[in-house]
Amino acid sequence: MLIRTTTDPMTLKDVPSPENQPTLLEGDSENGLRIYFESEETRQEYIDLTAHDPLILEGNDSEDYVAEG
């Protein structure tokens, strides 16, 4: 499912005419999130804040695991 949000995540303002505004697609066109922005500047601010190399932590999620520490 493609989710569409018309609230600019940087300004938290509603984007009244999203078809004429900058967008960003997170994921793909079937299972993603399309974000609309008030301006290209707020879109770029959002991209700059997004982690480019996210850290993925691996753990033990088995039922008999007991955390130590």
Name the residue among 60, 10, 53 with its Cα closest to residue 35.
Answer: 10
- What pLDDT is attached to residue 29? 84
Category of 27 on φ-ψ map: left (φ > 0), alpha (ψ -120 to 50) or beta: left
Q: Please report the pLDDT score of residue 52 as a whole number.
A: 62
pTM above 0.75, yes or no: no
Q: What is the pLDDT along the chain (69 residues), one digit of tens a residue?
A: 999 999 999 999 999 999 999 999 998 888 899 999 999 999 999 999 866 666 666 766 666 666 675
Q: Where are the domains of the chain?
A: 3-49
Could you tell me the sign of the dihedral formed by the alpha carbons of 62, 63, 64, 69, in that order?
positive
